[in-house]
Chain A
Amino acid sequence: MSAKDVLSESIEEYLEVLYKLSKEDPLVKTSKISESLNIAPGSVTQMLKKLDSMGYVHYSPYKGAVLTENGLIKAQKVTRKHRLLERFLYDVLKIKKDKVHAQACEMEHVLSDDAERALCHLLEQPDECPDDLEPIPACNFKFTTCEECKERSNEEIDEVGDRNEKLVSIADLNEHEMGKVSFIRGDYKVIRRLMDMGITIGANISVLKIAPFKGPVEVSVRGSTLALGRDIANNVFVEQTV
């Protein structure tokens, strides 16, 4: 393995950890990263400075790092590959739950985007990883629903292009935050039900309330109030607006 590959792998590992930790607080402390990756704080600081220079994070000394939009998109991509692979190892290859994580960590860096898409089709648009039930981020193709993705061949995929926008699932929004629906994951039936209720692509949606214990999310869309189970909320992605 060349030194360059090693570097890019370790960048991806950092971004993955940053993504996971930033769910609790966008500003991720150096000490937390050092704890998660089991790397000395000094080295972490070095790396964060490097990531800052590459435009993936904003690093402020003694405080920590915040993912930039670019960093977030890259972090989501690698996290998505990791969690898809976990699903594949667990569902298809029947590898034990406690072993999938380490294996997926190794594989995620070499999985191509085409393979990622094929894996998603094979697994029928999975939405959470098997070990800790964390949601799988949306893909970076410029699709608005999974239905459309299923219709497109591999040759057509370049035509579709990349989304390159920051997507957040409404389950990850806080109370009173809002966004514009830009991608819905799931089968025909779910997408259709959501659209009938007013959650169409481009609709403005705002989160009113989040029930505790991973319960439903109450949202307001088109003047009506809906409760969406957490599993559905995980699959409705928005571009956040203020």
Chain B
Amino acid sequence: MDNQKTYYFHDPESSRKSRSNDLKKEHQKEAEFTVALAGNANVGKSVIFNQLTGSEQIVGNWPGKTVEMAEGKLNFQGHDMHIIDLPGIYSFSTFSMEEIVSREYIAYEKPDVVINVLDASVLERNLFFTLQLMEMEVPLVLCVNQMDIAKQKGIIIDTKKLEKALGVPVVPTVAVRGEGLQELVKTALKVAEHKKDCKKAVKYDAIEYGGELENRIRDLAEMIDSEKLDLDYANWWMAIKILENDPEIKKLVASKSHKIIQYADQLAYEIEKIHHEPTFAVMASERYALANKIAAGAQIQTEIKISFSERLDKVLTHPFFGYITSAMVIGGLLLWTFVIGGYISDQMTSFFNFFQPVPTSETDPLYAILWNGAFGGLVAGLTLIVPFVVPFYILLSYIENSGLLTRVAFMMDTFMHKIGLHGKALIPLILGYGCSVPAIDSTRILETRRERLLAAFAITFAPCAARTIIILSLVAIFVSIWWALALYALDILIIFIMGKLALKAMPGESTSLIMEMHSLRVPSFSVILKQTWNRTKSLIYLVFPLFIVGSAIIQLFYVLGVLNIISDFLTPLTVSWLGLPAFAGVLLLLGIVRKEFILLTLVSFVGTDLALALNSTQFIVLAIVGMLYIPCLSTIGILIREFGWKAAGTITAANLITAFIVGGLFAHILPYIL
């Protein structure tokens, strides 16, 4: 919780300014209307967003946050619209960054209309969120999506009745097939135009909670009104939030008027006396009671049908078959990534065959830096990252959007608890076997910074593809395959030990799993492609400059002879403690860019018969140190992006220390064994 606090806006004034600057404003300026899509997770919001905006999208982070947002443009009947896809949330409390970002966006940016997307098959729970949007008094259109899935479950929804009960226009849609979207945009446009004309907050009469609650909310809202606080939130909504003891809103109001808070505390106490429940619990019950009433009035459950997806679900979470299907999903993901990735990587490597590093001593130094360094870095990125990342992201996106991932997380939850994480953390860890960079990127699916950090830390020790290459080519070839396997086992043991240590170092309540198991479905192909493209793009932006610049700098050092100086400086460590030849310092320095460089440089020093330069102990020690000593440059880069310099530095230091301790121990013990 404490960790999350850093993401809160403590000063709404300054954050508003910075956000306005950061947001792609020019996009918004030329648009006539701003439309925000809001709703629960997995209701098909992204599908609608993709259908509406086509290729005109920008995906970025909210300033200073790891909450993703997508923006796009739509021209409809001559009107330019700016569309923003808010994160999927269940409520407007302050427990996740997504919730805070969403409510601040609505309050500060004041979209002309909010399209609230609902899952028709889970109407009551979705209406709970709708009621909160209505409390915020925003211009609203309801989009009841996935009407087809509801029908399969035997639920029929009368949208006219819903419209009447809520006093909000309602449009039924099946977004994956594009059904109802024309009507949706038309209705949204009408609401937005109306809002522009009368410029007033929209008051909804449909929300009426119990008398003892309603009266107190009204009293407080009137007091807020008379105090003229000049805040961006609706008074009614702020009154509710203060009564609910919302820390952010309370602080915001307290900075302007203490009288309100005192009065609110008294009202909250009265409510708690009547209901014997905290006010937030009373509010939640009231909202759900109303949502239940409205949903019951607008839907008919014809017959309870067991659909194909429910039958499939039974297998996926079966106490026995569930583990088999989970293993198949995970294994399939890895296999697909390595097989497809390996093939593409081979193709690209042969395409870049013309690239051969030139011997540094014989060429113009500048040429060596540009060719060996910069261009070499680009080729490395193209042949190693892209081929594995693209197929991986495609399948991951499929697994996520179809609902398969939630089933795997459900089955694997118990095992992940052993290292302080829950079921969903399995995905980043599996990814770590391929490449740490997308693996750390995907820790975003976890709830708290602490958990993301724990997972990222474990990932930096995982045997990624590059580490596998080192183990295989140094140890399997020159010592024995059994020692190679032993090192693999050692690595897994180290992950487990370090995971436990990190848990000790970062104590805290681990978040328990609270996860919606939405219906299994065939995901929209366009959403998968868009998601894959956006993820790959943001990775390329991060990794490629690092590869190119980093590799050029190392070459520069090499040319200047700095490497040898540092390497000499390192001899107490490399020669005395680890028992390696003096040039190992250079290898390890170059290996920071990419682990494979350890091998490549070694070959360029001593030729292909490495056994001439190293003995068995040295092979094993070099492999251990190479495997553990530091996350590669791009991994460090993504660690900094996700967690900041301090955390990235700590993780890197932990890697270094572990590597030299374990390496040194082996260097001193192995001679007695081998």
Interface residues of A (CB under 8 A from B): 142-145, 147-148, 151, 160, 189-198, 200-203, 209, 211-216, 218, 222-232
Determine the chain A residues whose CB is within 8 A of the CB of B534 once the complex forms.
Answer: none
Listed by A's residue number, 27 A-B pairs whose Cβ atoms lie within 8 Å are A142-B276, A144-B276, A189-B95, A192-B93, A192-B95, A196-B93, A197-B90, A198-B128, A200-B285, A201-B281, A211-B322, A211-B411, A213-B414, A215-B413, A216-B410, A216-B423, A222-B122, A222-B288, A223-B122, A223-B124, A223-B295, A226-B514, A226-B515, A227-B413, A228-B512, A229-B422, A230-B413
Determine the chain A residues whose CB is within 8 A of the CB of B411 once the complex forms.
Answer: 211, 215
Q: Are B413 and A229 in contact (CB under 8 A)?
A: yes
Q: Are A227 and B91 in contact (CB under 8 A)?
A: no
* B:315-355 near A, CB below 8 Å: 317, 319, 322
* B:265-287 near A, CB below 8 Å: 272, 276-278, 280-281, 284-285
Q: Are B413 and A232 in contact (CB under 8 A)?
A: no
> Across the two chains, which residue of chain A brings its CB closest to B295?
A223
Determine the chain B residues whose CB is within 8 A of the CB of A142 once the complex forms.
Answer: 276
Number of B residues contacting the other chain (C-beta, 8 Å)? 43
Picked from A195, A198, A215, A218, the residue with its CB within 8 Å of the CB of B281 is A195
Q: Are B413 and A191 in contact (CB under 8 A)?
A: no
Q: Are B277 and A226 in contact (CB under 8 A)?
A: no
Known: A189-B95, A211-B319, A215-B410. A145 touches B277 (CB 8 A): yes
Determine the chain B residues whose CB is within 8 A of the CB of A192 once the complex forms.
Answer: 93, 95, 280, 284
Known: A200-B288, A218-B410, A224-B122. A232 touches B280 (CB 8 A): no
> Across the two chains, which residue of chain A brings its CB closest to B291?
A222
Interface of A is mostly: mixed
| Shortest Cβ distance from residue A223 to the other chain B in the assembled complex, whole angstroms | 5
Determine the chain B residues whose CB is within 8 A of the CB of A214 once the complex forms.
Answer: 414
Determine the chain A residues whose CB is within 8 A of the CB of B535 once the complex forms.
Answer: none
Interface bits B110-137 vs A (CB < 8 Å: 1, else 0): 0000000000011111001000000000
User: For the complex, what is the distance from the CA of A227 to the CA of B514, rounded to whole Å?
Assistant: 6
Q: Are B512 and A190 in contact (CB under 8 A)?
A: yes
Counting from the closest, the 5 A-B pairs by CB-CB distance are A229-B513, A229-B512, A196-B91, A195-B284, A224-B122
Q: Are B281 and A145 in contact (CB under 8 A)?
A: yes
Determine the chain A residues whose CB is within 8 A of the CB of B285 once the complex forms.
Answer: 195, 200-202
> Across the two chains, which residue of chain A brings its CB closest to B518?
A225
List 11 other contacts, CB 8 Å, given A189-B1, A198-B128.
A144-B276, A148-B276, A151-B278, A195-B280, A196-B91, A197-B516, A222-B124, A223-B295, A226-B515, A227-B517, A231-B512
Q: Are A194 and B514 in contact (CB under 8 A)?
A: yes
User: For the complex, what is the distance from the CA of A194 to the CA of B276, rounded to whole Å?
Assistant: 18
| Shortest Cβ distance from residue B120 to the other chain A in the assembled complex, whole angstroms | 11
| Shortest Cβ distance from residue A214 to the other chain B in the assembled complex, whole angstroms | 6
Determine the chain A residues whose CB is within 8 A of the CB of B406 once the complex forms.
Answer: 227
Determine the chain B residues whose CB is within 8 A of the CB of A209 once the complex forms.
Answer: 317
Determine the chain A residues whose CB is within 8 A of the CB of B276 once the complex forms.
Answer: 142-144, 148, 160
Cβ of B292 within 8 Å of any chain A Cβ, yes or no, is yes
* B:508-552 near A, CB below 8 Å: 512-518
Q: Are B281 and A200 in contact (CB under 8 A)?
A: yes
| Shortest Cβ distance from residue B418 to the other chain A in the assembled complex, whole angstroms | 11
